[in-house]
A and B are shown apart, each in its own frame.
Chain A
Amino acid sequence: MPRCLASAVAVFGIMKAGAAYVSIDPHTPIDSLWRLIDDCGIRHLITHDQHSEKLGLLLAGAHELSLLVGSSVEFDGSTRVRPWETLDQFPAGHAPDVPSGEKDLAYIMYTSGSTGRPKGIMHTYSSGLSYARLSVRTYDVKPEDRIGNYSPLHFDMSTFGYFAGPRAGATSGLIPEAYTKLPASLSQLMESEHLTIWYSVPAALIHLLVRGALEKRDLSSLRWVMFGGEPFSPKHLRALMKQWPHAIFSNVYGPTEVHQCTYYHVPAAESGIEDDFEDEKPIPIGKVWEDTEGLVVDDLDQPVPRGEAGELLIHSATMMQGYWARPDLNANAFCHPEVSGSSEKGFYQTGDLVRTQEDGNYLFLGRKDRQIKTRGHRVELDEVEAALAADPNVMEAAAFPVRDNQGSRLIEAAAILVPGSEALPEDLMEHLSRHLAPYALPVQIAILDKLPRTATGKVDRSRLQRLAEQKPELSSSRFIEDKIYG
């Protein structure tokens, strides 16, 4: 579903019917869509005419689909089709009498898996409602609020607009996709809709800052700016806080497995934080919110002393039930550290390394594994590597992150071709685009005669990364630097 009113109708309709929804990125490559539909046994697909071109192809390979809602185009085969218009004939007054309990499945959100098989994160009515309740309390959401919900439905940050907004009786504005690409149109929309709360990835805010014509817009209604998904570079944040001095800025942290779990309200400039910004000191992810416990532990699940790096473990009311049909992953996702005092209490192992500062706020340091965030999207580099290595032209492949200057990362890749192959980087990219989501595609693929190796013979990915970061050519992040500081 694109970001539209029908998406909200679908979400609440599905839950009223006692079913669970699986949010799917409409731009997912077709092979992955088939696998996903098969993986969680989806029978009913709710969609939008915007995607009718892809639907025919989708239905041809997904025979288990019995009903397609939201298409005005008919397709061959056994799948029944119901256009949106025909739904009006159903009585709106009474929902089916389906008992639903707090432990029942409410939604599944898929995320990148390191083996190339995506993981379905299961949330229950209880975890979703806890998230909505805590969000309303933490950000003081009121009925008169107008929320700018930037994230699409398949992105877990969307739960703020879809659930926290309605919970408070506030208005949620689902930002259409086209506006997310053009900052001057976006700021126009923010102004005309008198938005009071904003929630997005930092990249969206940076684009507003650079190309949003903000000095021409009256955004005085904006009272709270929440950002999350990846680190916000302090200099951009400072520039934006100067632009909107009347708003509170909060760094929101939490893997999809727990919705959100920590927050940090960024102090205003006058309280001395300016100096921190000068140092480019990263913005802390803050402290855990209510109904949540956080532990920072070493590899043996023993707590580390304050100030030392360790993995963040989270036990929370907003925590997932587990991964869909993946007992292998579920066995390792949670642990029961002795220090928690209860062997019953499961803690989700975030895989994120943090350090507790003197003031008690957590500082995010990085990942334990090869998962990265690129423009707010979570990607397993091993998945990119596996997809590239699966190309018949490729003998060996490596994927690695390259830092940009916005606090985010881009993906680049290198490949050695099989002898005799004359494939060009664009051929490899063509192959990848059929297997990976657009955001997971490398910005560049280098074809090399050999890959740099460590003493033990492993591919030296950090060397590849250093080499890539030394390249002088114009990158999109340089472009942004020039616009602001050039």
Chain B
Amino acid sequence: MAEVPDILNDFIVEELLSGRGDTIDGDANLLMSGQIDSIGMMRLVDFIEERFDFQVPPEDVTIENLMSIRTMSNYIARQAENSGPPSA
């Protein structure tokens, strides 16, 4: 089973960056790179909901939760703790 950061990395590189780049540093600020726009971030949220099978409430779509692959992974882990293991 792939780790959460790897799953996120693959989606971002393949879907949002159209294959540009390979591995993204877990702490890299995705919001300042200029490569992913707001539409891209919304697709990412959609992907997280689908892949990890939980709803991301609008109020969670924040900088603190989605700034980097690490903060996203932590957020997903917290959601999993609250509602059982993720189905990924």
Binding site for B on A (CB under 8 A): 2, 26-27, 50, 177-185, 188, 203-204, 207, 210-213, 216, 375, 424-426, 429-430, 433, 438-439, 441, 443, 476, 479-480
Contacts and interface: CB of A to CB of B under 8 A. Distances in A.
Contacts of A479: 42-43, 46
Interface in B1-51: 18-20, 29, 31-32, 34-39, 41-43, 45-46
Given A182-B61, A441-B18, A26 B41 contact: no
B62 interface: yes
A184 B38 contact: no
Given A216-B59, A433-B20, A476-B43, A181 B36 contact: yes
A476 B39 contact: yes
Given A429-B19, A479-B42, A375 B37 contact: yes
Given A426-B18, A479-B42, A439 B37 contact: yes
B85 interface: no
B60 interface: yes
B61 to A, nearest CB: 4
Question: Quick one: which of B29, B35, B59 has the most chain A CB within 10 A?
Answer: B59
B58 interface: yes
Contact of A213 (B39, B42, B59, B66): B59
A73 B32 CA distance: 19
B18 A182 contact: no
Given A27-B34, A430-B19, A480-B42, 10 more contacts: A182-B66, A184-B58, A184-B62, A188-B62, A210-B42, A213-B58, A213-B59, A426-B20, A476-B39, A479-B46
A426 B36 CA distance: 16
Nearest to B59: A213
A438 B17 CA distance: 10
Interface residues of B, number: 27
A211 B57 CA distance: 8
A211 B61 contact: yes
Contact of A181 (B38, B58, B60): B38
Given A184-B59, A429-B18, A26 B31 contact: no
B88 interface: no
Which of A185, A433, A479, A480 has most B Cβ within 10 Å? A185
Contact of A182 (B32, B41, B46): B41
Contacts of B67: 178
B19 A426 contact: yes
Contacts of A429: 18-20
Contacts of B42: 207, 210-211, 476, 479-480
Given A210-B42, A211-B45, A479-B42, A181 B18 contact: no
A375 B63 contact: no
10 contacts: A181-B36, A183-B38, A184-B62, A185-B63, A211-B42, A213-B59, A216-B59, A375-B39, A424-B19, A425-B18
B73 to A, nearest CB: 17
B65 to A, nearest CB: 8
Nearest to A479: B46
A207 B20 contact: no
A405 to B, nearest CB: 12
A212 B41 CA distance: 13
Contact of B61 (A2, A183, A433, A443): A183
A424 to B, nearest CB: 8
B62 A181 contact: no
Given A188-B62, A213-B58, A426-B20, A181 B37 contact: yes
Contacts of B46: 479
A50 B38 contact: no
B62 to A, nearest CB: 4
B31 A181 contact: yes
Contacts of A425: 18-19
